[in-house]
Amino acid sequence: MGSYKDLEVFRKAYKLSMEIFELSKSFPPEEKFSLTDQIRRSSRSVCANFGEAYRRRKYPAHFVSKLTDCDAENTETEVWIMFAFSCKYISQVQFKEFSDKVAEIGRMLGSIISNPEKYL
């Protein structure tokens, strides 16, 4: 099996994290230590935890545990996107686009969590 970087879920999560980074540059300065840092951290953490999980495939329970961490961070990212929208830092179109991407990543992670044997 190849690298975690070859898996579509990782590529999508990484791309979303970079899109969030670019978008968050436009958030107001007073959000630097709350919304901006938090949304960047959680979106990046999906990717970092996925890399860790992939390296732990030898231990199925640990693999799934780390994947659930990914899923939790993905959900946290969704919550921060909701705050960005409610605070009017992003448009309805951007909100839908980012929410759809988070949901897709969540479904992909859920599929791996439900069928880890394909990745062991």
Rounded to two decimals, what is the model's pTM?
A: 0.95
CB 53 within 8 A of CB 63: yes
Where do the DSSP E strands lie in 38-120? none
Looking at the 3D structure of the chain, how many domains does it have?
A: 1
pLDDT at 35: 97
Greatest alpha-carbon pair distance for the chain in Å reads 46
CB under 8 Å to 68, separation ≥6 — which residues?
A: 113
- What percentage of the chain has pLDDT greater than the value 70? 99
Q: Residue 108's Cα: distance from chain center in Å?
A: 11
Single-letter residue type at 50: F
Where do the DSSP E strands lie in 16-118? none
CB under 8 Å to 110, separation ≥6 — which residues?
A: 71
CATH number of the domain that residue 106 is part of:
1.20.1440.60
pLDDT at 85: 98
pLDDT at 2: 86
pLDDT per position as a tens digit, 67-114:
999 999 999 999 999 999 999 999 999 999 999 999 999 999 999 999
Query: 84 is in which domain, residue-wise?
Result: 4-119
Grade residue 11 by pLDDT with cuts at 50, 70 and 90.
very high
Per-residue pLDDT for 1 more than 70?
no
Distance (Å, rounded) from C-alpha 109 to C-alpha 7? 11
Q: For the beta carbon of residue 76, count every other beta carbon within 10 angstroms.
A: 18
